[in-house]
Chain A
C-alpha cells in the first residue's frame, strides 16, 4: 500500500499521467521520434497484401496469424495434383490408404442414390463413370479441417496433438504414443497411423512452408485455384474475398468442431 503522505503533488494531465509543464527544449526532444514513427507506418502500408510475408522480412510471430483454407468445389477438376504434391512434400506413404488430402467424386443419380468414390485419393485421376442415370456429378477436395475446437486434441491422453498459436492442429511425432484415440475422434477421417513411425499423422497446412512465407503445397500446385489459402486475421486477402463473395459451408458444422476449412456453394450431398 502507498503512503498517502508521499503522494506526488503535481497535477494529473487530462490523460491521467503526471507531467511537468513543457518548455521549448522538452517539446523539441519529444517531437524527435514523430517523423521516425511516421516513416515506419508508411513503410508498413506499402507491403503486398496478398501473400504471407517472407520469413526474412520479419521474424515469424505465430500469434499474428490464424490460418485457414477456402475450397471452391466448382473449380475442382479432379486432376489429383494436390494429392501428389502433398505426398511428395510431406513424405506421406505412397500406399493407397494414407492421405493428408484427397479428392472425392460425387455422382448423384436420378434414383436419389449418391455414389462417392476416391480411388487412391484421386492421385492419378478418376476412371470413367460407370453409374448410369446421372443427375449431377462433381469433385470435392478434402483435408484436415484444422478445427478451432478440435476433438482430436481433446482426446489425446498425452498432449501430443495440439493447436499452435497460429491456429494449426499439429502432431508431436516424438511424443505421440500411437494410441489412435485421435484417429477415432476425428469426424472427418483426416488422420491415419503412419505405418513406419506408428504415430498419428495428419495435414499440417504445410506448417514448415508457412513459417517460411510459402503457401501449402496443395494450394501451390492447384491448377484451377480451387483451393484458396489465407489468414483469417487479414481483412484484405484472397481468402477474405472468397468468404465475402460466396455462400460458405463447413463440413459437419453441427458437431461444433468449428472447422477452419470453408467450402463455397457446397452440394447438400457432401457430408
Chain B
C-alpha cells in the first residue's frame, strides 16, 4: 500500500472517530427512539401540572350542587367556567378556596347583547337591564330560569306605547286593532300580530254613520283617500288631530 493512502486513511479514521464521539456527546439519549425527536420531551410535557381539575372532580365533594346544576339550563357550563381553575382546591380543599363572580360585569361576558352571538341565545343590554343590580340578586346561576314572558306590550314596544299614551288613541288597548296570539310573547318573530287590513276597520269609529262618541273626527269613507288603507297615511299610534 502506498504511503499516502495509509496516511490519508488514518486521517479519515480520526475524522470518523471524531464524528462518532461528537454524536455520542451531542445527540440526546432518547433522540430517535420514536421519531426524529427527543422521546423524553413527551414525558416532560406530559408531566406538566394541571390547573383545571375537570368537572368530575367537583362532583366528588359537591354532589348535591352538581346534581342540581345538571338538571337546569346551565348543565353544559362547567363549574370551573365561573369558579375558576380548581386543581389546587382539589389538592388542598381547606387552604385554597374558590370564589364566585358576584359582580355585574361577569355574566354579560356570555349574556350581554352582541349581534355576532347565535340567534336565540339569551342576551340582555347590560346598561339598560336593571342597572347596578348584581345579576345573582334575581338569577340563580346554578338553576337559571328562562326569561318570563312580558305581561304588557310596552315591555318590548316601549316607543309605541309611550307615543300612544299621549295621543288621542291613549285609551285604546293595543288588542283593539292588533289580534295578538299568546305565542307572540314567546317567539315574537314567528307569530306576528295582525294589522288592520281594510278601511272599514277605521270606519267603525270614523265613518259619518258610526255609532261612536260625537267628538271623534269623521271622514267620508267613500271619497277620502279611497285608494289607501288608513294607516298608510295616518300614524294610528299618534294620529294628527287635524
Residues of A within 8 A of B (CB): 62, 74-81, 85, 88-89, 105-107, 124-126, 128-129, 134, 137-139, 159-165, 170, 172-175, 204, 207-209, 211-212, 214-215, 217, 220-221, 223-225
Contacts and interface: CB of A to CB of B under 8 A. Distances in A.
A138 B35 CA distance: 41
Nearest to A161: B37
20 contacts: A75-B118, A81-B109, A85-B80, A88-B85, A89-B51, A125-B109, A125-B114, A137-B115, A137-B116, A138-B116, A164-B42, A170-B42, A170-B45, A173-B41, A173-B45, A174-B41, A207-B46, A212-B50, A217-B52, A224-B76
B89 interface: no
B52 A78 contact: no
B112 A160 contact: no
A78 B117 contact: yes
A75 B41 CA distance: 36
A80 B109 contact: yes
Q: What 5 pairs between A and B have smallest CB-CB spacing?
A: A162-B37, A172-B41, A208-B48, A223-B77, A137-B116
A126 to B, nearest CB: 6
A108 to B, nearest CB: 11
Contacts of B28: 175
Contacts of B37: 159-162, 172, 175
A81 B48 CA distance: 21
Q: Dominant SS at the B interface?
A: loop
Given A126-B116, A223-B76, 19 more contacts: A74-B118, A76-B118, A85-B85, A89-B50, A89-B85, A125-B108, A139-B117, A159-B38, A161-B37, A170-B45, A175-B28, A208-B46, A208-B48, A208-B50, A209-B50, A214-B54, A220-B54, A223-B81, A224-B76
B129 interface: no
B49 interface: yes
Interface of B: 28, 31, 34-38, 41-42, 44-52, 54-55, 74, 76-78, 80-81, 85, 108-110, 112, 114-118, 121
A134 B81 contact: no
Contacts of A211: 46
Contacts of B108: 125
Contacts of B50: 89, 208-209, 212, 214
A82 to B, nearest CB: 10
